[in-house]
A and B are shown apart, each in its own frame.
Chain A
Amino acid sequence: MLGLQATFFYFFALIAVGGGLMVVFSRNPVHSVLFLILTFVAAAGLFLLTGAEFLALILVVVYVGAVAILFLFVVMMLDLDMGRMKKGALKYAPFGAIIGLALLAQLVIALSGSYLAPSTATTLATPMPIPPLDQVTNIEALGQVLYTRYILFFQIAGLILFVAMIGAIVLTLRHKEGVRRQSIPVQVARNPKTAIEIVKVESGRGL
């Protein structure tokens, strides 16, 4: 059983790493975004393997369904010249290297910390409102508190999104004058009497 899990882990991990590399190296920005989506899906598979199915689904719904599609829109709308953009990229390389080294150092410290003093991670006994994984899955556990204990937060979050929606409309919607708009009632109400004008044209003369 463990062998099967390990097989899938390496399968998804390879796809994720390969997809990530292709995001950086592919020449066409649209292909980059498509590889990004592949990476997200593979990462969702990894989450699923660790038993975090809620995170897996959210990753697909939010990152693939919304963020990556937004990227795709932006990339396809803007006329990007990748050759020109990559020209200046080399002078940022030192910064990238520094950030990469910092992240690597953090990873080493975190991992060595948990090897050297494994107790530090668990010194604080936090109360766990969520029941153990073998009793309920984590979506079920979230569902049990999200609409009961945390209903207030759920509703306030909804109100915040409501404000964001109103704000986006208030700040961007403009009613332009002189733009022809489709008016379905007017189109439906047309009949031959109002739409057609019969003109008798005398022969030999123009209109």
Chain B
Amino acid sequence: MMAEAFSLSQSLGIAGPELIMAVGAMVLLMVGVFAGERSTQIVTGLAVALVVISGLWLVVVTPTGVAFGGSFLLDPFARFMKVLVLIGSAFAMVMSVGFASRERFNRFEYPVLMVLSTLGMMIMVSAGDLIALYLGLELQSLAIYVLAAINRDSVRSTEAGLKYFVLGALSSGMLLYGASLVYGFTGQIEFQAIAQAATAETRSIGLVIGIVFVLAGLAFKISAVPFHMWTPDVYEGAPTPITAFMAGAPKVAAMALMVRFTIDGFQNLAVDWQQVIVFVSIASMAFGAFAAIGQRNIKRLMAYSSISHMGYALVGLAAANVSGVRGVLLYMAIYLAMTVGTFAVILAMRRAEGSVEEINELAGLSRTNPVMAVALTALMLSLAGLPPLAGFFAKYFVFMAAVEAQLYGLAVIGVLSSVVGLYYYLRIVKVMWFDEPAAPFEPMAPELRFALGATALFIFPVYLVVGGTVFNAAEAAARTFF
């Protein structure tokens, strides 16, 4: 009578890291409630420890396998993406330690919500069917809606939260509609079963509409054009550590979901969804590159930059082969490092009177704070994709995958738009090195110094050394699907 029996204890073992996060979040909330309003620092520290423990548990203890009757998968792909998600979240939490107390919205719920959002992302990455996909996505998004609005005395923060919430609800609606069509036309919710039911010969137009709607919902979460409208405003309005969080881990998780949905569920229908991905990819790369040129606010600039980077990552997915998926994984890993580093600098842009966000405020940084200037220069050139920085390898592998899949046009447009993108990254470098110095910033907080140092050293020169290892891990993860 049951669809398929599964062993609960085995399932709980596979979902071990998620259990740690879920139980830990509730414990942290209790600690916060009983320690009172001044406990933010303690709870944040414990939250980082929780994420690290969960990550170690994931890498060392947890076995791969299928849990909860196919709803929850832990394969090499999921493990790779979850490690990225956990690293991104841990850095975002570390970077938020000082900010909340300086901006006076010191609330212990803040790290707890970050832990719950991370839990949602882990479920997304491990989702084996449409229901887990949706629930993971909602858990992740709902926590971020609250986080974006958490500085409730600031009109901009509230506006950012509300805007993200309304548009996020719309995208959830589209995703659910698509999922219901996919279920209706295949009679299955599990990706593996959908893959068996949906063959190129028997596919109906309704199924394709369903796929397009689900992809639209997911494209919203990675802020790919044409579902990017919310990104600049929300990035600008949300408190900066939250923006740093939103730009990193959730994108990795949503991209993982996109890869799993298309490659795992609809490999047979690649022709149908490939054109969607190619369009979204080209539009994101080009729009991100051109729209960023006129920006003065560095958070808005990073929003457009992340839109175009999602376009580059999707180039790999459009290729729909092993090297393409491997390219996506590498791209997300390197993108995460570059984003964390850049936001560490943005968080450090602070004078006695408060935070500043204009690009002009970076003027003459090479003279006032040479170390920060060198690190930011490396990050900007890496975002632009210049060799020998890590960003170059990220772009190289996705473009090579596109060439391998004979998507020459896509690869050419990608290279051209990264040339356009080079302009606005170089503008920041020029402002830092050649403009008259503005007033110096306050000394960097130790946690920001750590985040910036770690990521800047990762993109150069550490990546040249560990690049092979990361590549092999990504290769093994991509082999999950082929």
Contact = CB atoms under 8 A, between A and B. Distances in A.
A156 B120 CA distance: 9
A136 to B, nearest CB: 9
Contacts of A131: 1
Contacts of A127: 3, 187-188
A156 B136 contact: yes
A30 B68 CA distance: 47
A163 B2 contact: no
Nearest to A161: B142
A96 interface: no
A199 interface: no
Interface stretch (B76-84, B107-115, B414-422): B107-115
Interface string A122-135: 00111101010000
Interface string B122-137: 0100000001100110
Interface in A92-151: 124-127, 129, 131, 144-145, 148-151
A18 interface: no
A171 interface: yes
Interface in B123-177: 123, 131-132, 135-136, 138-139, 142-143, 145-146, 149-150, 152, 161
B16 interface: no
Contacts of B6: 149
Contacts of A125: 187
B132 A159 contact: no
B290 to A, nearest CB: 36
Contact of A153 (B4, B132, B161): B132
Given A124-B185, A170-B146, A170-B150, A151 B132 contact: no
B187 A126 contact: yes
The DSSP consensus for interface residues of chain A is: helix
A162 interface: yes
A62 interface: no
A11 B346 CA distance: 67
B254 interface: no
A167 B119 CA distance: 16
B68 A152 contact: yes
A124 B206 CA distance: 13
A163 B123 contact: no
Contacts of B1: 131, 144
Contact of B152 (A129, A153, A163, A171): A171
Nearest to B193: A127
Contacts of B150: 170-171
Given A156-B136, A166-B112, A171 B69 contact: no
Contact of B29 (A124, A144, A148, A166): A166
B431 interface: no
Contacts of A164: 142
| Interface footprint category on A | 20 to 34
A160 interface: yes
Interface string B1-21: 111101010010001000000
A126 B183 CA distance: 9
B62 interface: no
Contact of B146 (A126, A149, A167): A167
B135 A163 contact: no
B71 interface: yes
A166 B113 contact: yes
A118 to B, nearest CB: 18
Contact of B139 (A129, A145, A163, A171): A163
B72 interface: yes
A157 interface: yes
Contact of B22 (A151, A159, A169): A159
B456 interface: no
Contacts of B179: none
A124 B187 contact: yes
Contacts of B136: 156
Contact of A156 (B4, B139, B143, B187): B139
Nearest to A148: B2
Most buried by B among A126, A167, A169: A167
B384 interface: no
Nearest to A135: B1
Nearest to B69: A149
A152 B2 contact: no
A153 B143 CA distance: 17
Given A163-B142, A170-B150, A152 B72 contact: yes
B116 interface: yes
Contact of B71 (A153, A160, A169): A153
Most B-side CB within 10 Å, residue of A129, A148, A163, A171:
A163
Nearest to A126: B187
A167 B22 contact: no
Given A125-B187, A159-B119, A162-B116, A152 B29 contact: no
Nearest to A166: B109
14 contacts: A124-B187, A127-B187, A144-B1, A152-B71, A152-B132, A153-B71, A153-B132, A159-B119, A159-B139, A160-B135, A162-B116, A163-B139, A171-B149, A171-B150
Top 8 A-B residue pairs of the complex, sorted by shortest distance between their CB atoms: A167-B146, A126-B187, A152-B68, A156-B135, A170-B109, A129-B3, A163-B142, A163-B143
Given A151-B68, A153-B135, A167-B143, 17 more contacts: A124-B184, A124-B185, A131-B1, A149-B68, A152-B67, A152-B132, A156-B123, A156-B136, A157-B135, A160-B139, A163-B113, A163-B116, A166-B113, A166-B116, A167-B145, A171-B149, A171-B152
Interface of B: 1-4, 6, 8, 11, 15, 22, 26, 29, 67-69, 71-72, 107, 109, 112-113, 116, 119-120, 123, 131-132, 135-136, 138-139, 142-143, 145-146, 149-150, 152, 161, 184-185, 187-188
